[in-house]
Amino acid sequence: MKDKFLLRPDINYLNHGSFGACPIPVFEEYQRFQRMLETEPLQFMTKTGVEYLDQSKQALADYINCEKEDLIYVTNPSTAMNIVIKNLHLKQGDEVLTTNHEYGAMDRTWRYYCQKSGAKYVQQKISTPLESREQFLEEFWSGLTDKTKVVFLSHITSPTALIFPVDEVCKRAKELGLITIVDGAHAPGHIPLDLNILDVDFYTGACHKWMCSPKGSSFLYADKSVQDMLDPLIISWGYESDNPSESQFQDYHQYQGTRDFSAFLTTPACIKFFKENNWEEEKAKCRAQLKHFYPLVAKELNSTTICQLTDEFLGQICSIPVKTTRPVELKELLYNKYKIEIPVFNNVGPVIYLRISFQPYSSEVDYIDLITALRDIKSTTTLIQ
């Protein structure tokens, strides 16, 4: 499978989670769009490209089960979240209920808008090991107060790689009349995603992670009932449009002046690649490999797994707490000496995590090589306690 990707063959790439990796046929499709753009800039920007965009939005909408009118493509989840958070117009005393497992860029965005408005960002501690949904829900909802206005959480967390029960959180939040926002950066192409069933107000996902598109393709979904509260982050031709469509949401947010939106157009190519390569079966193999290797790597690190080893909490990534005082050095050594690209997160509170991605271009040998490298590091350095 690895030769279907552009990844360097000599690097054991165990960090699909950060920026994904793009298969060659999808990348070629991307470049085909870019050539079309440069061949006929005006036609592409105003007509043909817009038609491709519409087709790509339909393909994505079918894939995650929503209406294409409720989706806009954005470059990254940060953009999506900034559109939403800015428009919440938080007020002094409002509370945003979230967890202590959220992605750093989102934490920063929330802190920025909370500091400006006097609202409070309430990061409920979700303890590990995560044993059950009930445990999660109890810990999460114990942060609820009569000031809570918004709930925000990841579908799959970045540092800890855990699947959170967003369906149950959204259900209860709706009953309580709260705004629901899910950061699903890791979800599309990774775990089953059905936005129609989820019943969430705002959801962002990255296509360039587990859907394997080229970099710079993500989306913001907004339920019809909340679309009108969103002013554009970038005011451009779509505002007071000379030629308005039926959807203000599309007009306001999809057009942002001149830009190369070729990456947005590749969703159909990603889905085609998945079909042609039995991706569902391949992913099932990855999940099985994860369940086998996760405890083995944890043991090698004198550490533990941080949740039940079930599909309820785990997809194709897992994280292990590492006892090290030199995380940057550990990451660099893994790459420079052992040619293993793997993240060692040191910016998420007191615990340092090694996160392993399982993607079909990796094989058992790669995970065994990781264990061998960690063993070697333990016996030849003091990097791991």
Ligand X SMILES: Cc1ncc(COP(=O)(O)O)c(C=O)c1O
Residues that bind ligand X (CB under 6 A): 18, 76-78, 103, 105-106, 154, 158, 183, 185-186, 206
**Shortest distance (Å) from residue 159 CB to ligand X:** 8
- What is the rounded distance in angstroms from the CA atom of residue 8 to the CA atom of residue 340? 11
Rank residues 182 and 383 by Cβ distance to ligand X and give the closer one. Answer: 182
DSSP category for residue 96: E
The residue written with tokens 């990348």 in the block is 27
For 76, the token pair is: 């990254």
Rank residues 76 and 123 by Cβ distance to ligand X and give the closer one. Answer: 76
**Shortest distance (Å) from residue 343 CB to ligand X:** 9
Rank residues 36 and 105 by Cβ distance to ligand X and give the closer one. Answer: 105
- What is the rounded distance in angstroms from the CA atom of residue 258 to the CA atom of residue 266? 19
Q: Which pairs with CB-CB distance under 8 Å and at least 24 residues apart come from 184-188?
A: 184/154, 184/155, 184/156, 185/77, 185/103, 185/154, 185/155, 185/156, 185/158, 185/209, 185/218, 186/17, 186/154, 186/155, 186/156, 186/158, 186/210, 186/315, 186/317, 187/155, 187/156, 188/60, 188/63, 188/64
Rank residues 18 and 372 by Cβ distance to ligand X and give the closer one. Answer: 18
Rank residues 50 and 105 by Cβ distance to ligand X and give the closer one. Answer: 105
CA neighbor of 322 nearest in space, from 290, 295, 293, 345: 345
**Shortest distance (Å) from residue 37 CB to ligand X:** 23
Name the amino acid, one letter, at 270: C
**Shortest distance (Å) from residue 354 CB to ligand X:** 15
Rank residues 76 and 248 by Cβ distance to ligand X and give the closer one. Answer: 76
- What is the rounded distance in angstroms from the CA atom of residue 356 to the CA atom of residue 17? 8
The residue written with tokens 């065994």 in the block is 368
**Shortest distance (Å) from residue 82 CB to ligand X:** 9
Enumerate residues 6+ apart whose C-beta is below 8 A from 251: 238, 239, 241, 244, 245
**Shortest distance (Å) from residue 105 CB to ligand X:** 5
Rank residues 83 and 384 by Cβ distance to ligand X and give the closer one. Answer: 83
For 225, the token pair is: 């009932």
**Shortest distance (Å) from residue 132 CB to ligand X:** 22
Rank residues 16 and 57 by Cβ distance to ligand X and give the closer one. Answer: 16
CA neighbor of 333 nearest in space, from 377, 280, 276: 377
**Shortest distance (Å) from residue 325 CB to ligand X:** 25
Q: 347 with 331: CB under 8 angstroms?
A: no
